[in-house]
Structure 1
């Protein structure tokens, strides 16, 4: 979708074109994940709680929105062998992806969720809307963090993108952490990956989540279930 975020007419026209062209559905990306919701006739329960969608399907000539970020994330940590029961997590970010991660962790009944981002207001909104407690960036290095999984749901993970933040992540004391998940991919120097390597922690980058997300999206559009490994093989060849 390439319309201006401020143009409601263009959003309506773009969505209606799915019906006119008999298209099964579409993906929605930044900055439309929240803005497009008022123009849909239906929204899944999970997407409604998250407050953001990234997948639209046409069902019975009605537009319905889903959040496959959350579904993809669930399968990503499942594939990594992470059991959230009685565990703690920290999620970096305050946008739609962070909301999806917090929603899924809460739905899987993880014990505790910390939310940390540069935008305290939005972090607090996620905590209030879904779950979690806000941990300001300036408090990250004050004590060891009792977390078992660390998730980067922000758009930044390259050292060259934000060197000051990369230094903070490198100094985190996370002795109980067994898995680091980054929703991003394609960074020359990924400081979350470097942290995982230095602390001997399992690392999963965004291509794994994207593969599971693609599987979920295709299934919603067509009813066809294709293994996530098939999507991952294609992504590895083109990215």
Structure 2
């Protein structure tokens, strides 16, 4: 019996991860379950300490605990160590091994679109935790130049100093958008309802050379990044694709079974 879960604060109850993982567990003929569990901050250490005793093979970690779990882990993989954040924990005996599948999950999602990032100019919007995985993935894929734009340029400069890329402000981003072949939104807003000001800024962009637009957010009825892609004649994909590939990589670490990300995406889209 494989016991899996995703933990976070109360927002985790809306996670789509149980739908994906439980569908794939059934398809693979594996007895087990995947649950969404809200954990109070003061109980985080105790919860993690009980994983082996409670029979968990592993868990996913989402906001706000991706950094807070670090002191409780025995080992970090390369991505988690570089990013300073964990989204996947594997239970091995009494050891807890932390990993981060966001970076390779994004890379696989991008490669699946057919876009080749090497040597091509890319613009990343946002410089928070999500942007770190995106920038690391694009740096490894050889995107160049790689611009990272944020409303707080100091945050973008700190990210780029650590992971690569060139930090720019929004005024500069509006200029370099005309050169970008790839645009990735790694910031929190994607719809006019969330930020009318940002929606107007995106509508004004001159980005006719775009080939691919990716938004790591999902679930928006209106999405101004999708509108930008249509106006530029570019391909568009939202965060569900990255979520599916990230989930597939976590699943392999827990079960030893390699399942295509497309199977997880199909579960999200109700086709599983």
* TM-score, length-scaled by structure 1: 0.92
Report if aligned partners of 1:3, 1:11 keep a CA contact under 8 Å in 2.
Answer: yes
Question: Do the aligned partners of 1:91 and 1:114 also contact (CA within 8 Å) in 2?
Answer: yes
Partner of 2:141: 108
Find the residue that maps to 2:45 and give its secondary structure.
Answer: helix
Query: Which stretch of structure 1 is more off in the superposition, 121-130 or 214-223?
Result: 121-130
Alpha-carbon distance between aligned partners in 2 of 1:37 and 1:94, rounded to the nearest angstrom: 21
Q: Which residue of 1 aligns with 2:80?
A: 47
**Would you say 1:156 and 2:164 are equivalent positions?**
no
The answer to whether the Cα contact below 8 Å between 1:151 and 1:180 also exists between their aligned partners in 2 is yes
1:144 deviates by 4.9
Q: CA deviation at 1:229?
A: 1.7
Count, aligned residues: 235
Deviation at 1:213, TM superposition (A): 1.1
d(CA) in 1 for partners of 2:205, 2:106: 23
Structure 1 residues 143 and 27, CA gap change in structure 2 (3 angstroms)? closer
1:61-84 Cα shifts (integer Å, max 9, x gaps)? 311111111111111111101111
1:126 to 144, 150, 159: 159
**Other-structure match for 2:117:** 84
Residue matched to 1:32: 65
Gaps in structure 2 of 5+ consecutive residues: 1-6, 8-37
Q: Which residue of 1 aligns with 2:216?
A: 183
Deviation sequence 1:75-117 (CA, Å, 0-9, x none)? 1111101111111211112222110011111112222211112
Asked whether the equivalents of residues 33 and 96 of structure 1 are also in contact (C-alpha less than 8 Å), the reply is no
Write out per-residue CA displacement over residues 13-55 of structure 1, whole angstroms, 9 at most, x where no aligned residue.
Answer: 1211211112011111111112221221111111211221111
Aligned-partner Cα distance in 2 for 1:97–1:144: 20
Q: Distance in 2 between matches of 1:119 and 1:143?
A: 17
Instruction: Flag structure 1 segments of 5+ consecutive residues without an equivalent.
Output: none
* Matches of 1:63 and 1:23, distance apart in 2: 11
CA RMSD of aligned residues (A): 1.6
Distance across 1 between alignment mates of 2:143 and 2:158: 19
